[in-house]
Homo-oligomer: A and B are copies of this chain.
Amino acid sequence: MAPTVEGGDAALLPEFPRGPLDAYRARASFSWKELALFTEGEDMLRFKKTIFSALENDPLFARSPGADLSLDRYRELNFLRCKRIFEYDFLSVEDMFKSPLKVPALIQCLGMYDSSLAAKYLLHTLVFGSAVYSSGSERHLTYIQKIFSMEIFGCFALTELSHGSNTKAIRTTAHYDPATKEFIIHSPDFEAAKFWVGNMGKTATHAVVFAKLHVPGDQCHGLHPFIVQIRDPKTLLPMPGVMVGDMGKKLGQNGLDNGFAMFHKVRVPRQSLLNRMGDVTPEGTYVSPFKQCRLLPYLAAAYALDHFSKSLFLDLVELQRGRASGDCSARQAELGREIHALASAGKPLASWTAQQGIQECREACGGHGYLAMNRLGVLRDDNDPNCTYEGDNNVLLQQTSNYLLGLLAHRVQDGACFRSPLKSVDFLDAYPSILDQKFEVSSVADCLDSAVALAAYKWLVCYLLRETYQKLNQEKRSGSSDFEARNNCQVSHGRPLALAFLELTVVQRFHEHVHQPCVPPSLRAVLGRLSALYALWSLSRHAALLYRGGYFSGEQAGEVLESAVLALCSQLKDDAVALVDVIAPPDFVLDSPIGRADGELYKNLWGAVLQESKVLERASWWPEFSVNKPVIGSLKSKL
């Protein structure tokens, strides 16, 4: 199919290099060039190509494979590249108005190259720039020219250390002094320090600062934005009364210098008030109970999975002892197969649960979770390989579903019983009658025990086993090989079967553990709740299948399950800290300022930020901003 650009299309959309993908490309039902032209249009394709080619041909943008850039050097390089973007002047202010879609396209292209570069450029020109521009007053328009000539460098300072996204809780103040016609910008304490502000760490000379406006008589007029000079553009040293620094390493975007600032009675002229901006600030209404609610199921999972892994390890020790003593019995072989099936689904369940739990913690901590020193990134990165090594999780799950399918085939063909040394499959012997069962719990109160989830899980595993078996035979009848048939069934059937079977086993073992007679009476309630919460929360992720197979019917079933999870979270809320205390490693080992056992997260975080190297120091490359100014568009002729 011929592309539709006349003439220069080969240059605009050149062929890809030949290679192993040729065969795949040849199979496409359409011409990729035609779709590219339809999606973007020729003008936009040219615009993007111009940007990409400029970067590729400019040594300043050379990729440095394998180089481990230091934080300092990466921030310098990102600043130099941002300056170079001004010299290329890919998109003039006039063009922005004429072809507005080129604005996100430019940001997107820079971001594909390096998101730190896109962020630095965007925050300065568009976020800081629009804040000033939309204030509308003539005086502020003179700033616009200085933004685009890089005489000043801007940032947008809304967030404070201790309030997160809730703009109602902002505590920086701006008191009006009628005598001098000035505002006095002030941070009452470190918890009100502006925090996380992109470009503020090393580069910005000016900030749009959000503060509570007070007029004489101490009447508060709510949050307003002010333009405040924070550094001298000639020297990049801080202005008197401004303590400004760099927040240090983050999990990503390290070319961007996020920073913090405290203001000590800094006076700014009356005209610094950007008075047409109030309507763009969203009001946060976020409260913490929701966060607990999002993390408590993972806390329950930690207890349940820890118990499972210990008990499975002891099963493995039994297996190895048998091996060492030369046991060649059928039971020993069966034990090996059962442990292999449980471990093959156990690693996926545990590594994915950890992955999701760490990410949920990271997001629940807001920006602070993104700061490298708080080490949620290390936990995430170090857990991540568990999802693929010694067998990709999806491969391993197939080992487990194959084990169950093998047992069912044996039963169907030879009438064998479901029996295994650890008894994890014995319940399947009753699968015909289990499949006749229905969810018959009608009140939340009846649901608050893991027995309800156990019954549902048994039904679910029987249902998925039958469905997978039928689907497999159907695939084989339609001519698939055994290998193909298994692979075709795996996504839709085998995978949920393996996970549900393992979750049932985890729930079953933890249920038995917490209902042992030896459990101290004072611990029975909390352990029972943990067991029920993990069980019902895990089960709730299979709600669609429970409905689909007819175990659930009617609105109430799903509502009861959901309400029971919320009720258990609410019951466990007051136990949450103590439950963490039981399993938490010492502070030295955890090594996370926001996670210390004393709970003084803001104090610890502030202390740790100030301990980092070169926090308050001027960047070594300051003359690149203060002296060597870019000549706007000077490289345009090279495009």
Contact = CB atoms under 8 A, between A and B. Distances in A.
Interface of A: 1, 4, 16-22, 24-25, 27-32, 34-36, 38-39, 52, 55-56, 63, 65-66, 68, 70-71, 100-101, 103-104, 109, 112-113, 115-116, 134, 164-165, 196, 248-253, 279, 282, 284-287, 289-290, 293-294, 303, 309-310, 313-314, 317, 323, 336, 340, 344, 355, 359, 362-363, 366-367, 369-370, 373, 377-378, 380-385, 387-396, 398-399, 483, 486-487, 490-492, 519-520, 522-523, 525-527, 543-545, 547-550, 552, 555, 557-559, 562, 566, 574-579, 581-583, 585-586, 588-591, 597-600, 608, 611-613
Q: Which 8 A-B pairs have the closest CB atoms?
A: A252-B381, A21-B599, A547-B547, A28-B578, A543-B544, A27-B574, A548-B558, A19-B598
A523 B34 CA distance: 8
Given A289-B487, A589-B112, A384 B362 contact: yes
Nearest to A519: B38
Contacts of A253: 381-382, 385
A385 B34 contact: no
A116 B120 CA distance: 34
A407 to B, nearest CB: 18
B282 A323 contact: no
16 contacts: A20-B598, A30-B522, A30-B575, A31-B578, A35-B526, A66-B611, A66-B613, A68-B70, A115-B383, A165-B395, A250-B385, A253-B381, A363-B393, A492-B566, A548-B559, A550-B555
A191 to B, nearest CB: 12
Contacts of A309: 104
User: Residue among A293, A388, A562, A590 with the most chain B CB within 10 A?
Assistant: A388
A56 to B, nearest CB: 4
Nearest to A546: B544
B100 A282 contact: no
A373 B66 contact: yes
A373 B67 CA distance: 10
A585 B589 CA distance: 42
A344 to B, nearest CB: 7
A525 to B, nearest CB: 6
Nearest to A17: B598
Contact of A549 (B52, B548, B555): B555
A65 B165 contact: no
A363 B34 CA distance: 32
B491 A290 contact: yes
Given A16-B598, A253-B381, A612-B66, A317 B100 contact: yes
Contact of A28 (B31, B39, B63, B575): B575
A460 to B, nearest CB: 13
Nearest to A398: B285
A178 B28 CA distance: 53
Given A289-B487, A389-B367, A574-B28, A589 B19 contact: no
A521 to B, nearest CB: 10
B491 A566 contact: yes
Contacts of A282: 340, 344, 391, 396, 399
A126 B391 CA distance: 18
A272 B183 CA distance: 81
Nearest to A571: B29
A294 B491 CA distance: 9
Contact of A394 (B27, B290, B590, B597): B290
Contacts of A362: 384
The DSSP consensus for interface residues of chain A is: helix
A4 B519 CA distance: 13
Most B Cβ at <10 Å: residue of A109, A285, A600: A285
Contact of A286 (B56, B373, B398): B398
Contacts of A483: 285, 287
A558 B544 contact: yes
A196 B392 CA distance: 14
A576 B24 contact: yes
A377 B28 CA distance: 30
Among A34, A115, A599, find the residue whose CB has the most chain B CB atoms closer than 10 A. A599
A569 to B, nearest CB: 9
A384 B520 contact: no
Nearest to A283: B399
A637 to B, nearest CB: 22
A31 B579 CA distance: 9
A165 B208 CA distance: 53
A578 B36 CA distance: 10
A52 B588 contact: yes
Contacts of A101: 310, 313-314
Contacts of A17: 597-598
Given A52-B586, A388-B367, A547-B544, A487 B285 contact: yes
Nearest to A396: B282
A1, A287, A293, A578 pick with most chain B CB within 10 angstroms: A578
A56 B586 CA distance: 9
Contact of A336 (B29, B112, B279, B586): B279
Given A1-B522, A253-B381, 17 more contacts: A16-B581, A21-B599, A27-B575, A28-B577, A30-B526, A30-B575, A32-B581, A34-B520, A56-B588, A66-B373, A109-B585, A115-B383, A279-B336, A286-B394, A287-B483, A369-B388, A548-B559
Most buried by B among A582, A588, A591: A582
Nearest to A597: B16
Contact of A100 (B314, B387, B391): B314
Contacts of A612: 65-66
A388 B363 contact: yes
